[in-house]
């Protein structure tokens, strides 16, 4: 933080009360040099992660996957299958960890909840420890707030959120109002996040910045701070519905923001890159980025997630390769 800096922690909570204060604060954040940020991310992508380090990173990455399906064509059957896979990604290998969460549309939440919860009062699916409500091993995330466009009245977004939570979601992925943000109506964006945060109740709130529409890294940094000030538990890059999704430099800027935010307020916020992360190699690059930008405090599924669908199978293939020495064909892993 620059001179704007955080003299007293309480000052920050006051910012949301005035458009002028919010604007002054966000525009007072240090700028991001585009070339420099890209260069740093590119440099970190040359790290060579081999052998034991790779095995460790793959298992961590699996635990960080938000296994996602967000299609109009999603069916109860498909999301049930996905949830089963989330619990036991590699049925052939019980030592394979479960993923971080399953992420679906609100209408699909009840079907996923059924699977993740297991039959009432009984142990979960074979090989997974007993789960009770509130202590799920795999979290249930749902996009809400008129995902992916966010183009709906606030009342609709709030209802969307409450419905998802009521149906069993314990994490809500909301999108910010990019139109309001880009035209400088920061108060509106802030108030909306605060309102959704309240509607979430006990559920965690991930705020999607849709960085592909924010155009500059300066905006990414400002939007990150705005979301955190308004109470986000996680900040997330993208909906995955745009060609411009998560990139290492964007994630780097967001990681710097959560690092600085914790230094200023004492509150730790998670980061979730989403969209376009398809290979183990990509995932490991992100973990290196986390490791060398914010350190080990964030190398945990509670603080870093991957929004992805096809990534998991590549992680499983590489994991099998490391343990058995052989590549198995794609048919040896479930496709959903």
Partner 1 sequence: MFEYAPAPESRSVVRLQPAYGLFVNGEFVDPTDGDSFTSINPASEEVLAEVAAGGVGDVDRAVRAARTAYDRVWGPMPGRDRAKYLFRIARLIQERSRELAVLESLDNGKPIRESRDVDLPLVAAHFFYYAGWADKLDHAGFGPGPRPLGVAAQIIPWNFPLLMLAWKIAPALATGNTVVLKPAETTSLTALLFAEICQQADLPAGVVNIVTGAGETGRALVEHHDVDKVAFTGSTEVGKAIARAVAGTDTRLTLELGGKAANIVFDDAPVDQAVEGIVNGIFFNQGHVCCAGSRLLLQESVADQVLASLKRRMAQLRVGDPLDKNTDIGAINSAAQLARISELAAAGTAEGAQRWSPPGELPERGFWFAPTIFTGVAQAHRIAREEIFGPVLSVLTFRTPAEAVEKANNTPYGLSAGVWTEKGSRMLWLADRLRAGVVWANTFNKFDPTSPFGGYQESGYGREGGRHGLEAYLNV
Residues 242-271 that bind partner 1 (CB under 8 A): 256
Q: Which x/- pattern over 15-44 shows residues binding partner 1 (rule: CB under 8 A)?
A: ---------------xxxx-xxx-xx----
Q: Which stretch binds partner 1 (CB under 8 A): 54-62, 105-113, 200-208, 233-241?
A: 54-62
CA 41 to chain centre: 19
Q: Closest Cα to residue 307, out of 219, 208, 187, 212? A: 208
φ/ψ of 256, rounded to 5, equals -60, -35
Tokens of 149: 């466009």
Least distance to partner 1 from the beta carbon of 137, Å?
23
Q: Which x/- pattern over 268-287 shows residues binding partner 1 (rule: CB under 8 A)?
A: -------------------x
Which of 7, 10, 52, 95 is close enough to bind partner 1 by CB under 8 A? 52
Q: Which stretch binds partner 1 (CB under 8 A): 1-9, 80-88, 270-278, 302-310?
A: 1-9
Least distance to partner 1 from the beta carbon of 57, Å?
7
Answer for the pair 9, 265: CB distance below 8 angstroms, yes or no. yes
Least distance to partner 1 from the beta carbon of 297, Å?
11
Answer for the pair 164, 106: CB distance below 8 angstroms, yes or no. yes
First to last CA, the chain: 44
Residues 189-248 that bind partner 1 (CB under 8 A): none
Helix 51-64 and helix 280-293: axis angle, to 10°? 90
Size of the site for partner 1 (CB under 8 A): 31
292 near partner 1, judged by CB under 8 A: yes
Residues 299-328 that bind partner 1 (CB under 8 A): 299
* CA 111 – CA 89 distance, rounded (Å): 18
5 near partner 1, judged by CB under 8 A: yes
Residues 6+ apart with CB under 8 A from 103: 66, 67, 68, 69, 70, 141, 142, 143, 171, 173, 307
Tokens of 99: 């993923």
Q: Provide the binding-site residues for partner 1, judged by CB under 8 A.
A: 1-3, 5, 30-33, 35-37, 39-40, 46-54, 56-57, 256, 287-288, 291-292, 296, 299
């Amino acid at each position: 933080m620059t001179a704007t800096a955080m003299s007293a922690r309480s000052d920050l909570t006051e910012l949301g009360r005035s458009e002028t204060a919010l604007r002054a604060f966000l525009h007072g954040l240090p700028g991001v040099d585009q070339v420099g940020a890209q260069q740093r991310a590119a440099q970190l992508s040359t790290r060579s992660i081999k052998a034991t380090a790779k095995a460790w990173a793959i298992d961590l990455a699996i635990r960080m996957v938000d296994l996602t399906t967000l299609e109009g064509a999603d069916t109860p059957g498909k999301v049930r299958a996905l949830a089963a896979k989330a619990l036991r990604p590699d049925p052939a290998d019980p030592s394979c960890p479960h993923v971080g969460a399953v992420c679906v549309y609100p209408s699909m939440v009840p079907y996923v909840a059924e699977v993740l919860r297991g039959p009432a009062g009984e142990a979960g699916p074979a090989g997974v420890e007993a789960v009770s409500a509130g202590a799920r091993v795999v979290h249930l995330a749902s996009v809400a707030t008129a995902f992916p466009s966010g183009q709906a009245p606030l009342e609709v977004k709030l209802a969307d959120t409450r419905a998802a939570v009521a149906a069993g979601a314990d994490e809500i992925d909301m999108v910010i109002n990019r139109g309001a943000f880009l035209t400088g109506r920061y108060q509106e964006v802030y108030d909306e996040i605060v309102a959704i945060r309240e509607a979430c109740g006990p559920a965690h709130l991930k705020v999607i910045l849709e960085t592909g529409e924010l155009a500059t890294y300066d905006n990414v940094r400002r939007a990150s701070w705005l979301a955190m000030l308004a109470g986000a538990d996680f900040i997330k890059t993208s909906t995955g519905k745009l060609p411009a999704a998560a990139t290492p430099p964007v994630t780097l800027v967001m990681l710097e923001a959560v690092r600085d935010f914790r230094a200023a307020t004492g509150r730790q916020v998670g980061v979730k890159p989403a969209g376009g992360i398809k290979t183990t190699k990509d995932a490991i690059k992100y973990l290196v980025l986390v490791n060398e930008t914010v350190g080990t405090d964030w190398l945990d599924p509670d603080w870093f997630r991957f929004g992805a669908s096809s990534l998991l199978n590549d992680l499983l293939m590489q994991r099998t390769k490391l343990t058995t020495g052989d590549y198995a064909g794609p048919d040896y892993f479930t496709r959903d």
